Structure 1
């Protein structure tokens, strides 16, 4: 998928400034600190997420946490446009996407409790 980054341009510019201050000039968005010409590996990213989780006393941070959180936020803020989220995640079915988002029967019922059927 092609990334659409306009909504986070300010954050990306601040991050780019931080990279330059740390002398991590690299073509990669997430460069290795030891080898800036290489990207962060999945294992390195997992270790970083685990450390952040420990610092925040959270035991559920992992390599897909940001992807799932971002997808869920798009789902809610787009008025539950499952087609858009499916496309962004490159999923082939609504069921797969709903399961990925963690929308089981209990959470579906909770959302339905807030709907005014008039």
Structure 2
């Protein structure tokens, strides 16, 4: 069942993945984060997964949720052009054509 950060009593600055090896609250390494996420991806049948997959997925869904505001996503990713951002988040020509077909004259 989905939950929000607030449902779990967490603040937005809290770590989602804390180290289990320390008594104080510290984050896990990027290597360990990759291991955890890769194992979870395999468990649900996702084969081509990397830590950048999260960033790209966030970009894709934020692009859709922002009503296709590619400039916002481009700026967030610090890309030099919209075409780079569109390619990075996996927007195909077919999807661009669908977007264009939404406009009726």
TM over 0.5: yes
The separation in 2 between residues aligned to 1:66 and 1:15, in whole angstroms, is 21
- 1:20 is aligned to none
If the length of structure 2 is used for normalisation, what is the TM-score?
A: 0.73
Query: Matched residue pairs, number?
Result: 99
Task: Please show how residues 47-86 of structure 1 align to structure 2 within 5 Å.
Answer: 47-86=35-74
Please tell me the root mean square deviation across aligned C-alpha atoms, in Å.
2.5
Which 5+ residue runs of structure 1 have no aligned equivalent?
Answer: 1-9, 18-26
If the length of structure 1 is used for normalisation, what is the TM-score?
A: 0.67
- 2:21 is aligned to 34
Which 5+ residue runs of structure 2 have no aligned equivalent?
Answer: none
